[in-house]
Amino acid sequence: MAIASVSPTTGATLKTFTPLTDAELEARLALAQKTFEQYQRIPLAQRCQWLAKAAEILVANREEYGKLITLEMGKPIAEAIAEVEKSALVCRYYAENAEALLADVLIESDTSRSFIRYQPLGAILAVMPWNFPFWQVFRFAAPALALGNVGLLKHASNVPQSALAIQDIFTEAGLPSGTFQTLLIGAERVAELIADDRIKAATLTGSEPAGASLAAAAGKQIKKTVMELGGSDPFVVMPSADLEAAVTTAAKARMINNGQSCVAAKRFIVAEAIADQFEQRLVEQFQALRVGDPLQPDTQLGPLATAKILQDLDRQVQTALEKGARVLTGGQSLVGSTTLPPELRQGNFYPATILTDIHPLSPAYTEEFFGPVALLLRVPDLDAAIQIANATPFGLAASGWTTVAAESDRLINELAAGAVFINGMVKSDPRLPFGGIKRSGYGRELGSHGLYEFANIKTVWVK
């Protein structure tokens, strides 16, 4: 089956690719193994220079790459360009900091000299998603390549042009052939890759089923994995919060990437004392969003990445309404809608939507909505807010809004998530570890912790 790049804006097929044959895949695995044997011995300073060059290439061509991202998965062009710039940022971070982070760590023990040394493992398989087709890859690749590993990318099948462009960037930056390779293959061939002895570890960002499948395959081979899976992130607002800042940030936090982000705020848990004001202002913000062609600079909400994603999201919304939820704005697919220009009516457009009065036994109360749908929940106090925030199988990140120090401390300590942001929108940062708990996955990316995930943390004892 061909791998196709399909416009989510118009439904037109942009380009098709033939998946790798078994012989071609074998050749790439052999090249990865051969390259690693040489690449791990290249001085760290040189590896960092190549990462710095990759950052330069990204910045110099950010508009071209941004347009490619938007064409393939539909995010507004300004966000796509920002994604490319952030990809450059993570390359620069490890180019500038890897030497210090990978230095031997001296430890006093019962001998004259003992220390920790960080060494690479080999070829790392990255199974990456379509929603941030550049950023997700670079946040894996930059630390892995700095350490001396080599990368094999199995990208989402709807962003093949982005996947190939990333390989070209590393080649242009000067990294040896085989250091980073894109594998145009279907998901059904991932298990055979995991079983190959030349693959030493794997990382996946994606859905729970995809993560469970890869983790099971890796478990049989006793291979290290890092998983960044779904999220139903809470956005808790208490009466002392700066309401205007909270509402403005709430709209942005839900709509970023057309609502298709694991760390997007999804459940807005608001104290009853301010809920009416919050609801009114959030509805106004959602209704003011400009829906349209994501290549136009004034568009704020573009199409969902695929027709199936749109269908699944609409089904979730309709099920929630059948279970007693109330829609405050939006709530119906825009496919075929006369509110859109004729050329966009077959695109995967869904309006900014707010649901409230969600029953605790409704699936919507705990599941993830991967699109521009906000769930508004009212609570009497902080105890109830924390209880509802944690009443989900996910634990990726959370945002809490309060100016009361005691409330802030409780949110930090009691919210079950891999990250808690107080009075700010959840975001990833190359300097800080990123990852979740519970069914949102395990392991960490970024920061020093992400650098060490695919390292042999070797203890050395010398007498």
* Inter-residue contact 251 to 300 (CB < 8 Å): no
What is the spatial distance between Cα 36 and Cα 11, in angstroms, rounded to a whole number?
A: 41
Angle at 414 between CA 404 and CA 203, to 5 degrees: 125
Compute the radius of gyration of the chain from its Cα atoms: 23
To the query of whether residue 262 is one of the catalytic residues in this protein, the response is: yes
Alpha-carbon span 117 to 458, nearest angstrom: 5
The first and second tokens of residue 7, run together, are 């416009």
Residues 132, 124 contacting (CB under 8 angstroms): no
CA distances from 9 to 155, 337, 342 (A): 21, 14, 11
228 as an active site residue: the answer is yes
Active-site annotation holder among 48, 79, 262, 453: 262
Check if the beta carbon of residue 336 is closer than 8 Å to that of residue 363: no
Q: Which residues contact 53 (CB under 8 A, 6 or more apart)?
A: 172, 173, 174
Measure Cα distances from 372 to 62, 250, 266, 289 in Å: 26, 12, 9, 11
Beta bridge partners of 356: 326, 376
Q: Please state, as a whole number, how many other Cβ atoms lie within 10 Å of the Cβ of residue 153.
A: 21
Quote the CA–CA distance of 162 and 156 in Å, as a whole number: 10
Helix (H) or strand (E) holding 385: helix 382-390
Q: What gap in Å lies between CA 313 and CA 333, rounded to an integer?
A: 9
Beta strands in 24-128 (DSSP E): 105-106, 113-120, 123-127
What are the distances in angstroms from CA 263 to CA 95, 124, 284, 439? 26, 24, 23, 14
Q: Please name which of 9, 68, 72, 7 lies closest in space to residue 301, comparing C-alpha atoms.
A: 9
Which one of 72, 79, 83, 228 is the catalytic residue? 228
- Percentage helix, strand, coil for the chain under 3-state DSSP, each rounded to 5: 45, 20, 35
Q: How far apart are CA 295 and CA 269, in angstroms?
A: 33
Cα(97)–Cα(260) distance, integer angstroms: 31
Active site residues: 228, 262
